[in-house]
């Protein structure tokens, strides 16, 4: 016999301003949102993440600790943020001292199924769908590929 298990959302200690819209189910804990933000279903946003005003996070996205996303940004479906670069050739296994920060500035649009390693991305950048951002982006423009490069 087939039984369907319902997903239960966990939304804990969220700091928000006006007009936060969350489509459940989600896992969100210890996150700070600006005004007019949106989070689609099946997202996980971990503690100490900051998301700026007018930013949309689409479904199935994972935002790990140590990520800051600026104002007027768009994060497509299935985007994965990573804070562990496997610098020793293996996972940090909970050793948070080895984790790195990611900072996304304003007006950054990240296409679906992209992967964002610990980097800094300047304002006015478009990341093409399916791209892997492995290095800081310091010049506005359109980037895509694996590794992502300016076009």
CATH architecture for residues 10-85+99-150: 3 Solenoid (2.160)
Structure tokens at 16: 């928000």
Cα separation, 44 vs 98, whole angstroms: 21
Domain ranges of the chain: 10-85+99-150
The pLDDT mean for the chain works out to 94
Measure the CA–CA gap between 113 and 8, rounded to whole angstroms. Answer: 24
108-126 burial code (b ≥16 CB/10 A, e <16): bbbbbbbbbbbbebbeebb
State residue 1's pLDDT score: 54
Q: Helix, strand, or coil here: 110?
A: strand
Q: CB 79: neighbour CB atoms within 10 A?
A: 24
- In this structure, what DSSP letter does residue 124 have? S
Whether 69 contacts 46, CB under 8 Å: no
Predicted confidence (pLDDT) at residue 77 exceeds the cutoff of 90:
yes
In tens, the pLDDT along 4-28 reads 556 678 999 999 999 999 999 999 9
This prediction's pTM: 0.92
Tokens 């998301």: give the residue: 51
């Amino acid at each position: 016999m087939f039984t369907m298990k319902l997903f239960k959302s966990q939304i804990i200690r969220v700091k928000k301003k006006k007009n936060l819209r969350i489509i459940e189910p989600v896992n969100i804990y210890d996150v700070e949102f600006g005004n007019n933000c949106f989070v689609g279903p099946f997202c996980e946003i971990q503690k100490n993440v900051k998301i700026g005003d007018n930013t949309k996070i689409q479904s199935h996205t994972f935002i790990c600790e140590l990520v800051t996303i600026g104002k007027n940004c768009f994060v497509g479906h299935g985007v994965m943020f990573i804070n562990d670069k496997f610098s020793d050739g293996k996972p940090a296994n909970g050793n948070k001292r080895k984790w790195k920060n990611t900072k996304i500035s304003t007006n950054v649009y990240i296409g679906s199924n992209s992967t964002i390693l610990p980097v800094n991305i300047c304002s006015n950048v478009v990341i093409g769908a399916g791209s892997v951002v492995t290095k800081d982006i310091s010049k506005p423009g359109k980037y895509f590929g694996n590794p992502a490069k300016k076009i």
